[in-house]
Amino acid sequence: MTLREIVHSDPDILGGTPVFVGTRVPVRILLDYLEGGDPLEEFLENYPSVAREQAVAFLEEAGRAVLDRIA
């Protein structure tokens, strides 16, 4: 799954806030859930328009970005 299939930003959708493709769900909400100690399952239950594959791929991409930055 490419980054363009996972997340995008469009000025006409929530003022350009990055959202999961095909939804109006900001990616920040996923991070807020995880930072708050909530499991991925709870996020997916509350935001069924986000596919598990999208959420996992986003987290993998975020992890790679961080590792690339510090390596």
> Domains in the chain, please, with CATH?
3-70 (1.10.10.10)
Cβ-based burial of 27 (10 A; exposed 0-12, middle 13-18, buried ≥19): buried
The pLDDT-based confidence of 49 (bands split at 50, 70, 90) is very high
Token pair 């859930």 is found at 33
Give this prediction's pTM.
0.90
Q: Which amino acid is it at 43?
A: F
Residue 3 has pLDDT above 90, yes or no: no
Q: Which pairing describes strands 19-20 and 7-8: parallel, antiparallel, or unpaired?
A: antiparallel
DSSP state letter for 20: E
